[in-house]
Amino acid sequence: MKLKVWATALALCVAFAAGYRYSAALYGADIAALHEDYATRAQSLEVKYREKERGYAQSLVDAWEARDKALARVDDLGADLERVRKQAADARSRLSATGAGTCDAERERLARCAGLVERGAELVRRGVDLSERVAIDKDAIAKIVSQ
């Protein structure tokens, strides 16, 4: 009778060990499949995010190019401002070159007006430069953020 009990206990231990090994093998296969699935998903997400990263980098480059073009346009406007300044200086020099006469008070007023025009042109240039730079930077940042 003891032999039957020992045989039964041994059979149960063998069955338990075999079942444990079988389930461990199944878990191992499941874990390997999960690792493979994870690697595949990670690779596809990496490709997806690399594409997004390239798109963001390109949008940044485009925004900087647009900013540089706008700044070049501001420089062109500066050339126009210099032309107006030169014309005002020329007018002032012509006024001062004329001889003394009965129109001295008017000449003085015109000279002051030419000076005011020159100062106003300088203020306009500063304002335009500042507003252009702010608008250019704002547009560049908005373009980057929107994409």
Q: Is 140 exposed, middle or buried (0-12, 13-18, 19+ CB in 10 A)?
A: buried
Give 70-73 contacts, CB < 8 A, sequence gap 24+. 70/132, 70/135, 70/136, 70/139, 71/132, 71/133, 71/136, 73/132
* Structural domain count of the chain: 1
User: Residue holding tokens 């107006």?
Assistant: 84
pLDDT (tens, 9 = 90+) of the chain, 147 residues, equals 788 888 888 888 888 888 888 888 888 888 888 899 999 999 999 999 999 888 888 888 888 888 888 777 777 777 777 787 788 778 777 766 665 566 777 777 877 887 888 888 888 888 888 888 888 888 778 777 776
Query: pTM here?
Result: 0.42
Q: Is 10 exposed, middle or buried (0-12, 13-18, 19+ CB in 10 A)?
A: exposed
Domain that holds residue 82: 2-146
Taking CA atoms, 31 is separated from 25, 36, 38, 94, 141, in Å, by 10, 9, 10, 93, 46
* Residue 84 near residue 122 (C-beta atoms within 8 A): no
User: Residue holding tokens 């608008």?
Assistant: 135
Question: For the chain, what percentages of helix, strand and coil (3-state, to nearest 5) are there?
Answer: 95, 0, 5
What is the rounded distance in angstroms from the CA atom of residue 1 to the CA atom of residue 74?
A: 106
